[in-house]
């Protein structure tokens, strides 16, 4: 039942939202992996970032796409937690409790899943990139052969920024970059990632948003 | 099934059905030519092929929207305005503080199409030029941010006029046309306008590619040539001369002149939106329609052609 709800949610609600209400302009969609294990690393502007990235994959692979999200934020209220875990299908990480917070992610990669991570941590100021944190690097270091896909997103910070629930339609740009692995780049991982995402951002011609 | 039976089944006038079938006939010819050109060039015309393919989709969607029900047509035409407005707002510089004002601008779309649908002409014709025009700036004033005020008012008002007000004239034609003496009702008038406008776009392109030499406005749109423009104009006048007697109250010389007027105003709409794109440094307004760009790239000609044709019709035939 929940599975059906989830499929319906992505097939109808999310498709309509992404294609008709907002509109997607995707570059490099063909680069996205058909199968895991893989890690997608993107900048973070809005609640809808996760859903918009997930909408780029075919519905048949929905079960293997796992957005990694902080447990404490998403599990703050019961209905919200149910929605996040069962409908969106997040992979919760525990930032505060004991144990290895990355254990769940490593297991998912071993199962051949595709993880979505936002190395900026929080959504921050809309349409401004903040510095990437080390958590993502750590995960990649522990899985050095898993390909990493840099992604840049623009538009959702205008459509649905932090602190508001009023959705104002804007076309959403998603640029996917060339994949690389931790093994390829080693210690320069963070610089490489940040440079790649910045290079993708520079491809766009975005109007001012003051 | 006979043509009359089919027309009755779709609940449209017979000339409308025949015109749509004729458009499909043209499309089959265009597809064959494109296919042949593509084979001859060794598959180098991918964009042209995509463009012709998109025409199949667009014409089918348009025909279904006009055929299935009156209410659906209003929703379909309103959706075109909405998508065009969204492409516009996504392209231009906007202010964070104006998010709620942008939201109200979007809400004006269904309201404006409601006036068209209910054929309340007085409200239709003042809602955006008077009420939205006056109260959009007021909403911005109440938000209290004066920096960039004039630019925001200007860009937002122009966008509402072009993408909502001007384009909604298509819906006005559809819902007001049934009241006048015309052979195929409002649907016939709308089909005539859209067919002529789009045909002119294609013919301008074809004549321009074949014979184009002297540029008209090189700083705005380097692909537009006098040869393309005149070729499109004459082709559209001929088309209008042939089809207007079946779809509109016009015939003969008047029909040809109306076709010329649509061709000229369509061209002006096209280059006006080109100037916008050039100013903003964008090639296309979006990526919704493969081979064409955004929806605004496809309906740009209608922004001027639709109001000009509507008011020409109102002056002489209403």
Q: What is the pLDDT of residues A48-64, one digit of tens each?
A: 999 999 999 999 888 89
Q: In sequence order, what are the beta bridge partners of B261?
A: none
- Which of B90, B100, B282 is the closest to A170 by Cβ? B90
Task: Check if the beta carbon of residue B183 is closer than 8 Å to that of residue B251.
Answer: no
Q: What is the average pLDDT across B30-38?
A: 92
The answer to whether A23 contacts chain B (CB < 8 Å) is yes
Residue B102 maps to a domain: yes
Distance CA B231, CA A11 (A): 46
Residue A208 maps to a domain: no
- Which of B87, B95, B100 is the closest to A171 by Cβ? B87
The interface residues of chain B toward chain A in range 128-167, judged by CB-CB distance below 8 A, are 147-148
Residue B245 maps to a domain: no
pLDDT digits (tens, 9 = 90+) for A12-49: 999 999 989 999 999 999 999 988 799 999 998 888 99
pLDDT at residue A3 is higher than 70: yes
DSSP state of A187: G
Q: From its phi and psi, is residue B148 left (phi > 0), alpha (psi between -120 and 50) or beta?
A: left
Residue A122 maps to a domain: yes
Residue B30 maps to a domain: no
pLDDT reported for residue A127: 72
- Which of B86, B92, B106 is the closest to A23 by Cβ? B86
Torsion sign, CA atoms B271, B274, B278, B280: positive
Do B286 and A25 lie within an 8 Å CB cutoff? yes
The answer to whether A166 contacts chain B (CB < 8 Å) is yes
Spell out the residues 6+ positions from residue A109 whose beta carbon is closer than 8 angstroms to its own. Answer: A36, A37, A39, A115, A143, A146
Residue B153 belongs to domain spanning: 88-179
Residue B35 maps to a domain: no
pLDDT reported for residue A166: 93
pLDDT at residue B115 is higher than 90: yes
Residue A14 maps to a domain: yes
Q: How many domains does chain A have?
A: 1
Residue B122 maps to a domain: yes
The answer to whether A155 contacts chain B (CB < 8 Å) is yes
CA B52 to chain centre: 18
Angle at B67 between CA B64 and CA B69, to 5 degrees: 105
pLDDT at residue A101 is higher than 80: no
Residue B108 maps to a domain: yes
pLDDT at residue A122 is higher than 70: no
Do A207 and B96 lie within an 8 Å CB cutoff? no
Residue B134 maps to a domain: yes
Do B287 and A25 lie within an 8 Å CB cutoff? yes
Task: Check if the beta carbon of residue B116 is closer than 8 Å to that of residue B172.
Answer: yes
pLDDT reported for residue A124: 67
**Which residues of chain B lie closer than 8 angstroms to A56, CB-CB?**
none
The answer to whether B93 contacts chain A (CB < 8 Å) is yes
For the beta sheet containing A114-117, the strands, ordered from the edge strand earlier in sequence to the opposite edge, are: A24-27, A172-176, A148-154, A38-42, A114-117, A65-70, A91-93
Residue B31 maps to a domain: no
pLDDT reported for residue B42: 81
Global ipTM: 0.89
pLDDT digits (tens, 9 = 90+) for B59-86: 999 998 887 888 899 999 999 999 999 9
CATH code assigned at A145: 3.40.1130.10
E strands, chain A, are 24-27, 38-42, 65-70, 91-93, 114-117, 148-154, 172-176
pLDDT reported for residue B43: 75
Distance CA A155, CA A157 (A): 5
Q: How many domains does chain B have?
A: 1
What are the φ and ψ backbone dihedral angles of A180, each rounded to 5 degrees? -145, 170
Residue A49 belongs to domain spanning: 2-203
């Amino acid at each position: 039942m929940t599975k059906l709800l989830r499929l319906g949610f992505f097939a109808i609600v999310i498709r309509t939202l992404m294609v008709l209400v907002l509109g997607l302009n995707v570059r490099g969609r063909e680069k996205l992996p058909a199968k895991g294990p893989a890690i997608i690393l993107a900048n973070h502007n809005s609640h809808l970032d996760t859903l918009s990235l997930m909408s780029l994959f075919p519905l048949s692979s929905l079960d293997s796409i796992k957005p990694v999200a902080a447990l404490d934020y998403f599990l703050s209220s019961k209905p919200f937690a149910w929605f996040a875990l069962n409908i969106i299908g997040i992979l919760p990480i525990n930032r505060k409790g004991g144990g290895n917070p990355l254990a769940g992610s490593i297991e998912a990669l071993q199962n051949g899943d595709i993880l979505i991570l936002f190395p900026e941590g929080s959504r921050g100021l809309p349409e401004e990139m903040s510095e990437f944190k080390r958590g993502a690097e750590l995960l990649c270091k522990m899985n050095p052969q898993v390909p990493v896909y840099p992604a840049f997103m623009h538009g959702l910070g205008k459509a649905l920024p932090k602190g508001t629930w009023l959705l104002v339609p804007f076309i959403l740009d998603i640029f996917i970059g060339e994949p690389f692995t931790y093994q390829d780049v080693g210690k320069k991982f963070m610089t490489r990632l940040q440079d790649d995402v910045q290079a993708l951002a520079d491809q766009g011609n975005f109007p001012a948003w003051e | 099934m006979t043509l009359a039976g089919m027309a009755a089944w779709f609940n449209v006038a017979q000339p409308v059905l025949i015109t749509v079938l004729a458009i499909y006939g043209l499309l089959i010819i265009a597809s064959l030519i494109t296919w042949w050109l593509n084979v001859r060039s060794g598959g180098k015309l991918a964009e042209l092929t995509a463009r012709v393919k998109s025409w199949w989709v667009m014409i089918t969607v348009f025909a279904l929207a006009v055929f299935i029900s009156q209410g659906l047509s209003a929703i379909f035409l309103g959706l075109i305005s909405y998508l065009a407005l969204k492409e516009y707002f996504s392209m231009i510089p906007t202010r964070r503080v104006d998010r709620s004002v942008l939201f109200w601008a979007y809400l004006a779309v269904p309201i404006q199409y409601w006036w068209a649908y209910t054929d309340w002409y007085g409200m239709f014709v003042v809602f955006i030029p008077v009420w939205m025009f006056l109260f959009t700036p007021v909403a911005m004033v109440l938000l209290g941010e004066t920096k960039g005020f004039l630019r925001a008012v200007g860009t937002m008002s122009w966008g509402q006029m072009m993408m909502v007000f001007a384009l909604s004239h298509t819906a006005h034609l559809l819902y007001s046309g049934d009241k006048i003496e015309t052979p195929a009702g409002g649907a016939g008038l709308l089909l005539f306008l859209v067919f002529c406008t789009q045909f002119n776009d294609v013919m301008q392109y074809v004549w321009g590619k074949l014979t184009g030499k002297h540029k008209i406005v090189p700083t705005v749109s380097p692909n537009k040539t006098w040869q393309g423009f005149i070729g499109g104009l004459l082709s559209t006048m001929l088309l209008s001369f042939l089809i207007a007697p079946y779809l509109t109250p016009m015939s003969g010389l008047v029909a040809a002149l109306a076709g010329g007027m649509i061709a000229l105003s369509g061209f002006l709409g096209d280059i006006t939106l080109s100037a916008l794109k050039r100013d903003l440094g964008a090639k296309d307004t979006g990526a919704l329609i493969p081979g064409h760009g955004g929806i605004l790239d496809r309906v740009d000609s209608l922004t001027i052609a639709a109001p000009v044709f509507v008011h020409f019709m109102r002056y002489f035939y209403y």
